[in-house]
Amino acid sequence: MSPTEAIASVPTGLFIGGSWRDAARTMPVENPATGEVLTEVADASPDEAMAALDAAADAQAEWARTPARARSEILYRAFDLLHAEVDRLALIMTLEMGKPLAESKGEIAYAAEFFRWFAEEAVRLNGGHMPAPAGGARFLISKQPVGPCVLITPWNFPMAMGTRKIGPAIAAGCTSVIKPAAQTPLSTLALAEILHRAGLPGGVVNVVTTSQADEAMSPLILDERSRKLSFTGSTGVGKHLLELAAKTVMRTSMELGGNAPLIVFDDADMDAAVAGAMAAKLRNIGQACTAANRIFVQSSVAEEFTRRLTEEMAARRMGPGTEEGVTIGPLIDDRAVEKVTSLVREAADGGAKVLLGGVPEISGTGHFFPATVLTDVPDDAEIAHAEIFGPVAAVSTFETEEEAITRANDTPYGLVSYVFTESLRRGLRVCDALEAGMVGLNQGVVSNPAAPFGGVKESGLGREGGLTGIDEFVETKYIGIAD
Ligand code: NAD
């Protein structure tokens, strides 16, 4: 399928109540590798967005009554369709977001897995039963769908961040309105069309694309019919949305920013440490909340680690994600290139050494920044505190385990950390001490639909995926029955 055919296959309206409708205005979707406009999609006004919540609220009661097995089977069918159409969907994702095609295919497989996982979970939702401790009554405890949900997703994983929320919402019996990022609406629109074909009844999932995130979505969040907000994005926006959610004491899940430390001890398996650092650094061109933002290496192995990491980074090929052999695509936009450039420059001015890369490469109108390695990065450099969101490895050295833990925890974020050591005792001790919701011990990727994904501190609230992921979308009710 050609890029033009792939883009033309995506509906571009608002998906409301099971059908597509145009909005009064449209907005462009750009290819970050070229700056070209791929297509125009609906740009919802606040009223048009509210129609999506109306549809979700109307569909809620019947969807909650739909048997779990029926909900589960829709998710299984959508899982199959995602796999059957992976080539088309990956091309759409690469065109709108920039990541290399192989990574887009990997994301679709990962995204689909949330549907399979929650298809399995839908039929296992259960409650409990117990006698009142003092006698005279018994308790019947059940799980009920929380109600219509507002789901907001970022641009960096345009499909998986959607299925990670839609999957458990469908499984739990919740209806929803999902708003993808304005930069990458096409993957979510394609997903809605697939869910429709998989047999999802109208109104269960509704899609709002808009360039006016605040104006269009605030009324939905403040509306008493919405009972749950699940947000993935930056900590700043997350804090603002928490304030809005407080107005109606709405349930929230917040998957926010990260500043992951990656610690390499002197007894690490160097092959595993370099491979893990490459995965944690370059996955998604460094534009991941899980990206290794600060790399701490014990000084006795720092020279070897840095040399090998630099060799690996230098071997990566940068270019449009649709090109064979490219492993570093463009950043999402010009602003991202400017931010990464300024972080690197400020670190270098503060004493960091630039071993590789460091300056943006102008390639037509695409937004490219090359693989970059910095060493001797001072702890007070901005790059050690802000999310880099680019292919820049910021390395510094440490002497003792205690020092590594203290510096790793010296951040308001707490999403993920990575530790490389061959000592199980030390590894577990350090994992316990790290303030993070997730730790990769001798591995550079932690994301897995079967594992609870989420952070502590300012990285968020709640967990997505895993055995507890569906709990975010249900309320516990107990009925006290007199004996
Ligand atoms: P962002 O916070 O700018 O936007 C995220 C989403 O929120 C987008 O859909 C955006 O349109 C919407 N939004 C922005 N302001 C809004 C408002 N006032 N009201 C309603 N919606 C609003 O983040 P981004 O740049 O799209 O994504 C990158 C960020 O996401 C990074 O901080 C990254 O760490 C984080 N992220 C976190 C996870 C995680 O699971 N913890 C996963 C991926 C990305």
Domain ranges within the chain, ordered by starting residue:
3-256+459-482, 260-448
Q: Which of 255, 312, 458, 464 is catalytic?
A: 255
Amino acid 134 reads A
pLDDT tens for the chain, 483 residues long, are: 999 999 999 999 999 999 999 999 999 999 999 999 999 999 999 999 999 999 999 999 999 999 999 999 999 999 999 999 999 999 999 999 999 999 999 999 999 999 999 999 999 999 999 999 999 999 999 999 999 999 999 999 999 999 999 999 999 999 999 999 999 999 999 999 999 999 999 999 999 999 999 999 999 999 999 999 999 999 999 999 999 999 999 999 999 999 999 999 999 999 999 999 999 999 999 999 999 999 999 999 999 999 999 999 999 999 999 999 999 999 999 999 999 999 999 999 999 999 999 999 766 678 999 999 999 999 999 999 999 999 999 999 999 999 999 999 999 999 999 999 999 999 999 999 999 999 999 999 999 999 999 999 999 999 999 999 999 999 999 999 999
Of the residues 29, 150, 234, which should be mutated to test ligand 1's pocket, given the most ligand atoms within 8 Å of the CB? 234
Ligand 1 centre from 180 Cα, in Å?
9
pLDDT score at 406: 98
Could you tell me the CA-to-CA distances from 347 to 210, 352, 393 in Å, in that order?
36, 5, 12
* Dihedral in degrees, nearest 10, Cα atoms 83, 88, 91, 93: -60
User: From the CB of 258, is ligand 1 less than 6 Å away?
Assistant: yes
Ligand 1 centre from 259 Cα, in Å?
15
User: From the CB of 255, is ligand 1 less than 6 Å away?
Assistant: yes
User: From the CB of 293, is ligand 1 less than 6 Å away?
Assistant: no
Q: Are 291 and 388 in contact (CB under 8 A)?
A: yes
pLDDT score at 361: 76
pTM of the predicted protein model: 0.98
pLDDT score at 363: 62
User: From the CB of 256, is ligand 1 less than 6 Å away?
Assistant: yes
Of the residues 99, 217, 231, 237, which should be mutated to test ligand 1's pocket, given the most ligand atoms within 8 Å of the CB? 237
Ligand 1 centre from 269 Cα, in Å?
35
Fold of 260-448: Aldehyde Dehydrogenase; Chain A, domain 2 (3.40.309)
Ligand 1 centre from 131 Cα, in Å?
45
User: From the CB of 415, is ligand 1 less than 6 Å away?
Assistant: yes
Our answer to whether residue 472 is catalytic in this structure is no
Angle (CA) 286-290-293 rounded to 5° is 60
Ligand 1 centre from 154 Cα, in Å?
4
pLDDT score at 366: 85
Residue with the nearest Cα to atom 8 of ligand 1? 181
Angle (CA) 95-208-460 rounded to 5° is 85
User: From the CB of 458, is ligand 1 less than 6 Å away?
Assistant: no
User: From the CB of 374, is ligand 1 less than 6 Å away?
Assistant: no
Question: Which ligand 1 atom is the nearest neighbour of the CA of 157?
Answer: 43
> CA 136 to CA 332: how far, in whole Å?
62
Ligand 1 centre from 213 Cα, in Å?
10
Ligand 1 centre from 238 Cα, in Å?
8
Which two structure tokens, joined as six digits, stand for 87? 């080539």
Fold of 3-256+459-482: Aldehyde Dehydrogenase; Chain A, domain 1 (3.40.605)
User: From the CB of 460, is ligand 1 less than 6 Å away?
Assistant: yes
In 3D space, the residue among 482, 414, 476, 481 whose CA is nearest the CA of residue 127 turns out to be 476
pLDDT score at 315: 97
pLDDT score at 362: 67
> CA 293 to CA 286: how far, in whole Å?
9
User: From the CB of 457, is ligand 1 less than 6 Å away?
Assistant: no
User: From the CB of 233, is ligand 1 less than 6 Å away?
Assistant: yes
> How is 388-420 classified by DSSP, letter by letter?
--SSEEEEEEESSHHHHHHHHT-SS--SEEEEE
Of the residues 178, 240, 256, 334, which should be mutated to test ligand 1's pocket, given the most ligand atoms within 8 Å of the CB? 256
- Count CB-CB contacts under 10 A for residue 260: 32
